[in-house]
A = this chain, B = another copy of it.
Amino acid sequence: MSEGQIRDCKAVLQSMSLIVKQLDDVIRKLDEADIKEMLTKIVSADRIFVMGAGRSGFVGKAFAMRLMHLGFTVYVVGETTTPAVKEEDVVIAISGSGETRSISNLGKIVKDIGSTLITVTSKENSTLGRLADTTVILPSKTKTDHDSGGDLERSMRGDYTRNLPPLGTSFEITALVFLDSVIAQLIAITGASEAELKSRHTNVE
């Protein structure tokens, strides 16, 4: 990379403001019935499995860790001691495009087993969206919105792959904000005390 001194960091702050503005827009577009259904399925689940590839996978792991703190029996698909999924389990798939090959393949297996599949995605009409029992749509700016943007947005070239929506509206950021808010409501529902939550946080790190 070039050795040049960076003149300023204005684009960092502008980009953060843009993300905040777009997050604010997303909240108004959420379908409350779908979220309620997702919460009901999580609270009733015997065991929860979380899966996602790439950056969506990291968001899924951040969510799974908090579910564990809350006392849920939760596993990340692909980790060492994750057991076989059974019919009565709930599997949560995180995928911006809803088309990530490996996760779509696993989604089909999950439905063949007869388990409950919840998809968190930006595309309702996608493979994982259609497979799921419950789909929560986290809308991203559309390609057209993006193209009408100014220099900043153009410079982001955010939608550079099918899996990575425009940076200004990063699916992964929206998903993390949404899933952490799901955790907030689950804390309220379960009435988990601070001491209980603390007692489950890893003490060997």
Instruction: Known A173-B177, A188-B11; judge A49-B204 contact (CB<8 A).
Output: yes
Q: How far is the CA of A190 from the CA of B4 in the complex (A)?
A: 11
Cβ contacts under 8 Å, A64 to chain B? 80-81
Scoring A residues 62 to 86 as 1 if CB is less than 8 Å from chain B, else 0, what string do you get?
1011111101101111111111110
Q: Are A184 and B204 in contact (CB under 8 A)?
A: no
Instruction: Known A68-B81, A109-B204; judge A167-B183 contact (CB<8 A).
Output: yes
A residues 58-116 touching B (CB-CB < 8 Å): 58-59, 61-62, 64-69, 71-72, 74-85, 91, 100-102, 105-106, 109-110, 113
Cβ contacts under 8 Å, A144 to chain B? none
Cβ contacts under 8 Å, A164 to chain B? 201
Complex interface: stretch among A17-25, A118-126, A127-135: A17-25
Cβ contacts under 8 Å, A102 to chain B? 102, 105, 205
Residue of B nearest to A56 (CB): B62
The copy count of this chain in the complex is 4
Q: Are A205 and B53 in contact (CB under 8 A)?
A: yes
Residues of chain A at interface, number, CB under 8 A:
108
Q: Are A36 and B8 in contact (CB under 8 A)?
A: yes
Q: Are B160 and A170 in contact (CB under 8 A)?
A: no
Within the complex, which residue of B43, B58, B67 is in contact with A61, where a contact is CB–CB below 8 Å?
A: B58
Q: Are A185 and B9 in contact (CB under 8 A)?
A: yes
Scoring A residues 144 to 188 as 1 if CB is less than 8 Å from chain B, else 0, what string do you get?
000000001001111111011001101011001110111111011
Q: Are A203 and B109 in contact (CB under 8 A)?
A: yes
Cβ contacts under 8 Å, A204 to chain B? 49, 51, 77, 84-85, 91, 106, 109-110
Cβ contacts under 8 Å, A180 to chain B? 15, 19, 167, 170, 172-173
List 16 A–B pairs whose Cβ atoms lie within 8 Å, in order of A's numbering.
A6-B40, A9-B32, A11-B184, A12-B181, A16-B26, A51-B204, A54-B65, A55-B62, A58-B58, A109-B204, A113-B203, A157-B192, A159-B194, A161-B197, A161-B201, A172-B180
